[in-house]
Amino acid sequence: MNREEKAAVVAKLSEWFNKSSSTVLVDFSYLNVAEINNLRSILKKLECGVRVARNRLIEISFKQVFGDGGVDAKHVAAFISKLKGSSMVICSFSDPIKPLKELYSFIDKNKKLQIKAVFFEKTTYMDSEVESLKNLPSRDECLSTLLNLLQTPSRNLLYLLNQPSRMVITLLDNYSKKA
């Protein structure tokens, strides 16, 4: 790989890091080509970018985007400390949690994939912290819960407004049955 190709990879990764809602670093060294392609197709459907790159290029890109003081230096250092061995970067451009859930379902099927770190909301999560992230509701689940909470008062008001007319109709119906 020559300098221009390396610069292109660094530029692409920097662009992804800027746009992503979450970034996952995984060790894919035990996956075969078919499994990697399967994982890529799953993640592509979720609007994720998947890139295998040299650890040094990932480090340079990550420092370019997050090393300027906008993010706590310990989180940048923690993420970079996980750049050992084979590394695949997964950047989610829409829902930050859904790809993580898909990764865990993929891991349940083939135990060969290992999540090294997750960078989400300017914080690096590792090990057991990543486990807790997968239990968060996805964006769609949060939106449906919010919508339900917003609709509940109006539904209750409508029910209360219809209740007196329902009682009158029931009373008239019972009266007509007696007569």
Q: What is the pLDDT of residues 122-151, one digit of tens each?
A: 888 888 788 777 777 777 787 888 888 888
Is the entire prediction scored with pTM above 0.85? no
Query: What percent of the chain lies above the pLDDT cut of 70?
Result: 98
Is a pLDDT exceeding 70 seen at residue 179?
A: no
The torsion of the CA quartet 71, 101, 141, 90, rounded to 10 degrees, works out to 40
Half-sphere exposure at residue 49, Cβ-oriented, CA atoms within 13 angstroms: 18
Stretch 38-52: mean pLDDT: 93
Task: Give residue 91's pLDDT band: very low, low, confident or very high (50, 70, 90).
Answer: very high
The pLDDT of 102-119, averaged and rounded, is 89
